Amino acid sequence: MIIGISCKLIQMESIPIYQPSLNGNEKEYVMDCLDSTWISSKGKYVEEFERKFSDYIGTQYGAAVTNGTVALHLALLALGIGEGDEIIVPTFTYIASVNVIKYVNATPIFVDSKLESWQMDPEEIKKNITPKTKAIIAVHLYGHPCEIETIAKIAKENELFLIEDCAEAIGSKYGEKKVGTYGEVACFSFFGNKTITCGEGGMVLTNNATLYERMGRLKSQGLAKNREYWHDIIGYNFRMTNICAAIGVAQLQQIDTFIERKIQIGRMYSSYLKNLPVKTHEPVGNVLHTFWMCSILVDDLKDRDLLRNYLAKNGIETRPTFYPIHTMPIYSDKFQYFPIAEYLGWHGINLPSWPGLTDEQISYICEIIRLFYEKIKVSKV
């Protein structure tokens, strides 16, 4: 047995799929906000978080916002994308990557993924460029970078904007560069289940001063730059609170530790599950895969939900991989077929993945998966 307990498997406490690790200065900084009374969108932590996070990724400017979806929405608004424009986006992604395209009345154009990396296929991007194409949203899914250098080259050759959706890939690298440094803008999420969290929050990064200024005005009700309470464009209230930013600053202080542990967890899953009829999500090429979610693909489609139910009965929470967006009712007005995305969506399971998981918990999860397949084998005899 994996966990080294002879004869009898010991039931562990319930294991959630994710929970934040709040072991640093989070409470101290939040209490500082409360004591100072700066709890809304003004305060020292907002600027500090913007500056330190953009420095960490390697860009000049950062605009903190309320969540990751808002970050994508703000990016599209700042780039002037709107009705009549087409945006290329993977269908195998979280729905926010696509919904924001509809928010600005543009049209999502779906592309398939690559089976080895689970990321959007650059060759499919090339096939779907038309005179109406305005931008590419390149999603780095589950902590694994997409082929961002190739995609950036395609965008440049076709004079397209490149928006990086890095919500699930904080700290991931393609080659020697962190994701989030290749496009006009990069968007991040700090939801409670992300690599670092603010509880809820997001960030848009850019190296373009004009875009940064536009985003600052758009996220703050369209406030004019040099005239108090004067609004000369339609804006939004997309601002992050000082309390959320304070948590973000404390989390950022621990980010290298979080990522190192998540990579260890991903390697443990790979090692323990290698002789079972599942495939782990392995890094492909010269990348740093930060394993936001440690995920598997079951070989047999019929096993996916049965395995999830068996894990749940043993106190282990999982979730399915993302269902391809083109299969959802709101985006399925015409028939489209993306075989790789559909395979990934129907066969995939996300396993518990937060950095506070113990080695014993990971061993227990893998042992339960092994026992499930043993039971299947016996039932077929």
State the pLDDT at residue 5: 42
Whether residue 196 is predicted with pLDDT greater than 80 in this model: the reply is yes
Sequence-distant (6+) residues with CB within 8 A of 292 are 142, 143, 168, 169, 170, 194, 195, 262, 353
Domain with CATH 3.90.1150.10 in the chain: 255-380
The proportion of the chain whose per-residue pLDDT surpasses 70, expressed as a percent, equals 96
Report the Cα–Cα distance between both ends of the chain, in Å, rounded.
22
Give the DSSP letter string of 101-141.
Answer: HHHTT-EEEEE-B-TTT-SBPHHHHHHT--TTEEEEEEE-G
Q: What is the pLDDT of residues 251-298, one digit of tens each?
A: 999 999 999 999 999 999 999 999 999 999 999 999 999 999 999 999
Task: Determine the Cα–Cα distance for residues 69 and 189; give it in Å rounded to an integer.
Answer: 8
Q: What is the pLDDT of residues 99-147, one digit of tens each?
A: 999 999 999 999 999 999 999 999 999 999 999 999 999 999 999 999 9
Identify the CATH assignment for 255-380 out of 3.30.70.1060, 3.90.1150.10, 3.40.50.620, 3.40.50.1450. 3.90.1150.10
State the pLDDT at residue 13: 81
Strand partners, 237: 220
pTM of structure: 0.95
Q: What is the pLDDT of residues 6-64, one digit of tens each?
A: 334 566 789 999 999 999 999 999 999 999 999 999 999 999 999 999 999 999 999 99
Burial label, 327 (beta-carbon count in 10 A; 0-12, 13-18, 19+): middle
Tokens, residue 337: 């077929």
CATH class of 26-252: alpha beta
Least confident of 40-44, 69-73, 79-83, 171-175: 40-44
Tell me the pLDDT of the chain averaged across its residues: 95
